[in-house]
Amino acid sequence: MEQCFTFEKEQFPLFFEAMSEHGTVLAPVRVSEQSFAFRPVSSAGEIAFEALRTILPPKKLFYPQRETILGYEGRTIEERKPDVKPQVLFGVHPCDLAGLGVLDAIFSSDPADSHYLARRKATIVVGLSCMPDRYCFCNSVGTDSPEKGYDVFLTDIGGSYFARVNSPAGLQLLQSRPGLMQPASGDARQQYKDFWVNRDRAFQIGFKSGNLPAIVDMEWDNPIWEELGQRCLSCGNCTPVCPTCYCFDILDVASLTGDSGERVREWDSCQFSGFAQVAGGFNFRPGPVDRLRFWYRHKLHGFEDAYGFPTCVGCGRCTVSCPAGIDDIVGVVLRLQGGQDGQGGEER
Amino acid sequence: MDRLEQPLPCISVHSLTGCAGEELVILENLQKALPLVRVVSFPFAQSANEMRPVDIAFVEGSVSQPHDLEKLKAIRATARWLVAVGNCAVWGCVQGGVCRRFTPEQMARDVYGQDNQIAALPSAPLDKYVRVDVKLSGCPIDAGQFLSVLASLLKDHLPYITHKPVCLECKLKENGCVLVEKNLPCLGPITAAGCGALCPTFGAACYGCWGPCEAPQMEAMEIVLKEKGYAIDEVISRLTAFGIPQEIYSRDKPLELKVSRQ
Ligand code: SF4
Ligand code: SF4
Ligand code: SF4
Ligand code: SF4
């Protein structure tokens, strides 16, 4: 399926037109001096091509922050069908593609989440290359190259984009504007390869991840958890921003009139003290130290058990979003690898 | 009304010492509830008021004068559900917080002169004196939360009122974080949600008017704000301005003790 084309950046508005024809285009836009968010855009000019990480990852487009899943009236319960419209998600970097891959695995395993899958199916994903900043470490967790989960992936090769196609829908998108796409020339292919070699050299932080699951288990009692946990605000900023966090709360919202109401699901966070509290008031993770350590384990090890992969995709969102500065995954891993003395492990 | 129909549930809305903010929110939204309830007392909004048993009494304001206390006891005695609405009724608000450093006598003298007729009590939330069934904080309360409390109580359910931190609502709205990006002293991490992260949504720091969240991490908040250059006194005065007792944040180590050590 993989086919390669190029098109000049000047022609991007044409490509944008083609995307708009399929449905609403969602792309990163600037929302504050430092932040970006995926929002519906109506012209290429609104897109912040320079965005590395959006505040919330693209998961929000398939698994919205708050969603009604059923309605009830008396004894009748009715499932609410998701509002699914064709859309094009533009500007997804490799870490976020990997993040969507993790959520795909989770939400499609039994019992499958029909709302998530329906929205995913109605979406064309256009990936975009990126240059790491000082928080990116996808190369340490093996999510640095775009492997799957996209229909088209664009690599910035200077004056043009190098487009790799990975699905019939992607091919259709590229071919819908006759003359826009050129088959990738030999030069373009070389530029493409050069880009990724340079990009590989551009990472500023990282670790070697091979031994990670074992080390996370071994260092369960490392004093680092106490040290970081003391600073933890239990504010829960780290989980909504993570491309692979998927926990939600379920609320029944009664209507004022009659016997009716709605069941709503809303993103939740394992960093809240009520998250692991059960009937009778017992709490499995009562303090911030317990909760922070649990979160780190889940990101670096937890899913090795059930799914065979860790769930951190190296996007650096938690690091930049944590007001207490304790979600420094790379720094923590290096310290854990270095052992009790807290000396750094082997940097890449 | 058709005589054979069930009588409508009765509600009342009362105010003690407060700014009437809650009453305004309730009045603005009463239309939605009116077909379902009979309002037997709402002195702020209607002229015919009776003091008789009600299913739900909403009480705004703090207890700051002897007649507040008498009124509150009478309301409690006639209400099946007593709902404290607003920060004043739940926590004591500014008249309990900011004014904590003055005695009631001193304030009465300075504001109303030597021979004033003011009989003031130290301002306190309702639950200092009576049993409160539901506490709905806010300054003022959120209309959606009010209606959902009403909907639940009309069905004889205890309502669900979130105590997760403001940060959750803030992040779900995908706001840029003012604590991280602008180094503003945002108290969202330790403050209960419900307002929809109103202040951060407009680029301002949350100043904690809803009261503490489920498990406020005071010490961590202190560390973070101190590192951003905020003096501890400033942090404490922000934290306690809305009447939240200092002890609630750190049960083993009251904030005051820690401060005096520094
Ligand atoms: S983590 Fe990797 S894939 Fe994600 S933005 Fe940074 S460099 Fe790109
Ligand atoms: S744990 Fe942090 S760096 Fe890793 S995927 Fe989640 S938000 Fe990104
Ligand atoms: S780790 Fe950071 S972002 Fe997460 S709950 Fe703690 S303080 Fe908040
Ligand atoms: S702006 Fe305030 S409320 Fe919003 S996430 Fe940051 S600390 Fe939390």
pLDDT digits (tens, 9 = 90+) for B53-75: 999 999 999 999 999 999 999 99
Distance of CA A73 to the CA centre of its chain: 37
Give chain B's length: 262
What pLDDT, on a 0 to 100 scale, did the predictor assign at position A141? 93
Q: Is there a single domain that holds both residue A143 and residue A26? A: yes
Residue A2 predicted with pLDDT over 80 = no
Which atom number of ligand 3 is nearest to the Cα of residue A288?
6
Which residue of chain A is at minimal alpha-carbon distance from B222? A231
Mean pLDDT of A11-16: 97
Ligand 4 centroid to Cα of residue A276, in Å, is: 23
Mean pLDDT of A307-323: 91
Which residue of chain A is at minimal alpha-carbon distance from B224? A324
Q: Which two tokens stand for residue B25?
A: 């929110």
Q: Is there a single domain that holds both residue A137 and residue A235? A: no
| Ordered domains of chain B (ranges, CATH) | 3-154 (3.40.50.700), 166-248 (no CATH)
pLDDT digits (tens, 9 = 90+) for B90-132: 998 888 878 878 888 888 899 899 998 888 888 899 999 999 9
Sheet holding A152-156, edge to edge: A36-41, A24-30, A87-92, A123-128, A152-156, A160-165, A3-8, A182-183
User: Is A98 domain-assigned?
Assistant: yes
The CB density around residue B12, as the number of other CB atoms within 10 Å, is 25
User: Is A347 domain-assigned?
Assistant: no
CB contacts of A32 in chain B (<8 Å) are: 176, 181
Ligand 2 centroid to Cα of residue A26, in Å, is: 22
What pLDDT, on a 0 to 100 scale, did the predictor assign at position B257? 31
Q: Is there a single domain that holds both residue A187 and residue A39? A: yes
Q: Is there a single domain that holds both residue A177 and residue A217? A: no
Pairwise pLDDT comparison (A259 vs B163), residue with the higher score: B163
What pLDDT, on a 0 to 100 scale, did the predictor assign at position A87? 97
* Of the candidates A264, A138, A152, A255, the residue with the CA atom closest to the CA atom of residue A204: A138
Residue A344 predicted with pLDDT over 50 = no
Q: Is there a single domain that holds both residue A231 and residue A175? A: no
What pLDDT, on a 0 to 100 scale, did the predictor assign at position A321? 98
- The pTM for the full model equals 0.92
Nearest CA to ligand 3 atom 2: A322
The CB density around residue A339, as the number of other CB atoms within 10 Å, is 13
Residue A133 predicted with pLDDT over 80 = yes
**Which residue is associated with the tokens 């009692």?**
A221
pLDDT digits (tens, 9 = 90+) for A37-75: 999 999 999 999 999 999 999 999 999 999 999 999 999
What pLDDT, on a 0 to 100 scale, did the predictor assign at position B260? 29
* Of the candidates B125, B60, B91, B84, the residue with the CA atom closest to the CA atom of residue B244: B91
What pLDDT, on a 0 to 100 scale, did the predictor assign at position B242? 85
Name the percent of chain A lying above pLDDT 70. Answer: 95
Q: Is there a single domain that holds both residue A143 and residue A227? A: no
DSSP-derived 3-state class of residue A264? strand
Mean pLDDT of A155-159: 97
User: Is A206 domain-assigned?
Assistant: no
Instruction: Name the phi and psi angles at A248, rounded to 5.
Output: -135, 165
Please give the Cα distance from A38 to A24 (Å, whole number): 12
**Which residue is associated with the tokens 């202190």?**
B222
CB pairs under 8 A between A and B: 113
Per the structure, the count of domains in chain A is 2
Mean pLDDT of B184-192: 95
Which residue of chain B is at minimal alpha-carbon distance from A227? B220
Confidence of residue A301 (pLDDT cuts 50, 70, 90): confident
Residue A96 predicted with pLDDT over 90 = yes
Residue A30 predicted with pLDDT over 60 = yes
User: Is A129 domain-assigned?
Assistant: yes
User: Is A315 domain-assigned?
Assistant: yes
Which of A153, A176, A201 corresponds to the end of one domain?
A201
Q: Is there a single domain that holds both residue A48 and residue A155? A: yes
CB contacts of B221 in chain A (<8 Å) are: 233
The average confidence (pLDDT) of chain B is 89
| Residue B215 near chain A (CB below 8 Å) | yes
Q: Decide: residue B158, CB within 10 A, 0-12 exposed, 13-18 middle, 19+ buried.
A: exposed
Residue A147 predicted with pLDDT over 90 = no
Cβ within 8 Å, pair B214-A273: yes
| Percent helix, strand and coil across chain A, each to the nearest 5 | 35, 20, 45
Ligand 3 centroid to Cα of residue A239, in Å, is: 8
Mean pLDDT of A312-331: 97
User: Is A81 domain-assigned?
Assistant: yes
What pLDDT, on a 0 to 100 scale, did the predictor assign at position B224? 94
Confidence of residue B254 (pLDDT cuts 50, 70, 90): very low
Nearest CA to ligand 2 atom 6: A242
pLDDT digits (tens, 9 = 90+) for A174-233: 999 999 999 999 999 999 999 999 999 999 999 998 788 888 889 999 999 999 999 999
Cβ within 8 Å, pair A232-B220: yes
Mean pLDDT of B5-11: 87
CB contacts of A268 in chain B (<8 Å) are: 164
Nearest CA to ligand 1 atom 8: A130
pLDDT digits (tens, 9 = 90+) for B200-252: 999 999 999 999 999 999 889 989 999 999 987 777 777 788 888 777 655 44
B 33-62: CB under 8 A from A? 33, 35-36
Residue A345 predicted with pLDDT over 90 = no
Per-residue DSSP letter, A256:
S
Nearest CA to ligand 4 atom 6: B177
Please give the Cα distance from A241 to B167 (Å, whole number): 12
Q: Is there a single domain that holds both residue A119 and residue A236? A: no
Q: Is there a single domain that holds both residue A197 and residue A301? A: no
Q: Is there a single domain that holds both residue A48 and residue A157? A: yes
What pLDDT, on a 0 to 100 scale, did the predictor assign at position B5? 67
The average confidence (pLDDT) of chain A is 93
Residue A308 predicted with pLDDT over 80 = no
Name the percent of chain B lying above pLDDT 90. Answer: 69
Which ranges constitute the DSSP H helices of B209-254?
Answer: 218-227, 232-240, 246-249
Residue B256 predicted with pLDDT over 50 = no
User: Is A309 domain-assigned?
Assistant: yes
Confidence of residue A340 (pLDDT cuts 50, 70, 90): very low
Instruction: Please give the residue range of the domain that contains residue A242.
Output: 212-338
**Which residue is associated with the tokens 């991280």?**
B180
Q: Which two tokens stand for residue A35?
A: 């932040």
What pLDDT, on a 0 to 100 scale, did the predictor assign at position B262? 27
Q: Is there a single domain that holds both residue A216 and residue A130? A: no
What pLDDT, on a 0 to 100 scale, did the predictor assign at position B255? 38
Which atom number of ligand 4 is nearest to the Cα of residue B180?
6
